[in-house]
Amino acid sequence: MPSLRHLGPNWYSTVMGTAIVGSAGIALPLDVPGMRAACTVVWVLSALLLAVVLTARAAHWVHHRDQARAHLHDPSVAPFYGCPAMALLAVGVGTLTVGKDVVGEGPATTAAFVLFGAGTLIGLAAAVVVPYLMVVRHRITPGSASPVWLLPVVAPMVSASFGPLLVPYLPPGQWREAMLLVSYAMFGLSLLATLLILPVLFARLVHHGPLPLALTPALFLVLGPLGQSTTAVSKLADVAPGAIDAPYAAGLGALAVVHGVPVMGFALLWLALAAAMVLRAARRGMPFTMGWWAFTFPVGTCVTGAETLAEHTGLVAYEWLAVALYVFLVAAWAAAGALTLRGLLRRELLAAPR
């Protein structure tokens, strides 16, 4: 199967970017006729994409194992092994929030638990294995820091925002408290790892200049852990009263605002910086690559982050922010999807890299 030889783990980004359009759209503070139906259609598409990419990647490992191993030892490709976990988790979130309209609440809940378990285990493995390979196998040259380094460590943050959705389906007591605290542990794991990487990335930009044109969209990946951490801490605060003792539940509710507001502020700062860099690269002929999918999932996490802050603070400004970011998300998803389809039809995206 020569057409799959150069199919990398970055193709899971198509699943992530599609799934977040459905799950973010369903929580918007808007009463738009047909909105839920449209989000449901997008979730179905994301589930089908997940099945296709999983099958194609399995075939890649079977028929092109040498290339698959080479991807693991390539410092520019290995971080994308954080994407499979996030694809599973993103579809799982949509299954619980949107998919139950299609398959029923019982099957949707079962599927959500399966996707959560698989995505969390794979994500935690990637968060350990990829940094390990970066230290002992990869040859990292000075000035080569990249936003894609964040991908393996963001996956546990997606689990942290998914976990609270499952808490009400668990037996009261130890089960709920365990899910809550495990989710907080993954929140901390991912947040602290992100805080290690961001200074290195910014130092690379300051000392070595902008990223190459084709890699510039990757700057949007920084929004992922920022928006997802805001979403996670807010969702966890929502279920804390039914899972842990009152004094802690109240404190966790306050943490949702104390953490979310400043982090969302920094996310907007980075969004402005990244957008300026992308406009600069576009004027210089930035080509389309699969990296354009970085405009989707990370922005989607900021949509959900703004939605949860609107709920916790009551500020209408966060509602408008969520709507504005969602409009950008849908436009970016439509553009990336159309150009990806065109690249597949022309057999350009699966060709050997130059």
Domain CATH for 307: 1.50.10.150
In a domain, 241, yes or no: yes
* Contacts of residue 185, Cβ cutoff 8 Å, sequence gap at least 6: none
In a domain, 18, yes or no: yes
Q: How confident is the model at residue 29 (pLDDT cuts 50, 70, 90)?
A: confident
In a domain, 84, yes or no: yes
Distance (Å, whole) CA 22 – CA 158: 16
Q: Interior CA angle at 57 toward 151 and 7, to 5°?
A: 75
Q: How confident is the model at residue 32 (pLDDT cuts 50, 70, 90)?
A: confident
List, for residues 82-99, the tens digit of each pLDDT value: 999 999 999 999 999 999
In a domain, 352, yes or no: no
The amino acid present at 142, given as its one-letter code, is P
**C-alpha distances out from residue 41 to 34, 99, 110, Å:** 11, 9, 20
Q: How many domains does the chain have?
A: 1
List, for residues 4-18, the tens digit of each pLDDT value: 888 999 999 999 999
| DSSP secondary structure string for all residues of 257-322 | HHHHHHHHHHHHHHHHHHHHHHHHHHHTTPPP-GGGGGGTHHHHHHHHHHHHHHHHH--HHHHHHH
List, for residues 172-201, the tens digit of each pLDDT value: 999 999 999 999 999 999 999 999 999 999
In a domain, 237, yes or no: yes
In a domain, 185, yes or no: yes
Average pLDDT, the chain: 94
Q: How much is the pLDDT for 33?
A: 87
In a domain, 285, yes or no: yes
Q: How much is the pLDDT for 297?
A: 97
End-to-end Cα, the chain, rounded Å: 20
In a domain, 354, yes or no: no
Q: How much is the pLDDT for 1?
A: 44
Q: How confident is the model at residue 354 (pLDDT cuts 50, 70, 90)?
A: low
Q: How confident is the model at residue 214 (pLDDT cuts 50, 70, 90)?
A: very high
Q: How much is the pLDDT for 96?
A: 92
Q: How much is the pLDDT for 6?
A: 85
Tell me the mean pLDDT in the region 47-69.
93
Tell me the mean pLDDT in the region 157-169.
96
Contact 156, 116 (CB under 8 A): no
For helices 83-94 and 151-166, give the axis angle rounded to 10 degrees: 20
Q: Between 31 and 233, where is the model more confident?
A: 233
Range of the domain at 169: 2-345
List, for residues 96-142, the tens digit of each pLDDT value: 999 988 899 899 999 999 999 999 999 999 999 999 999 998 888 88
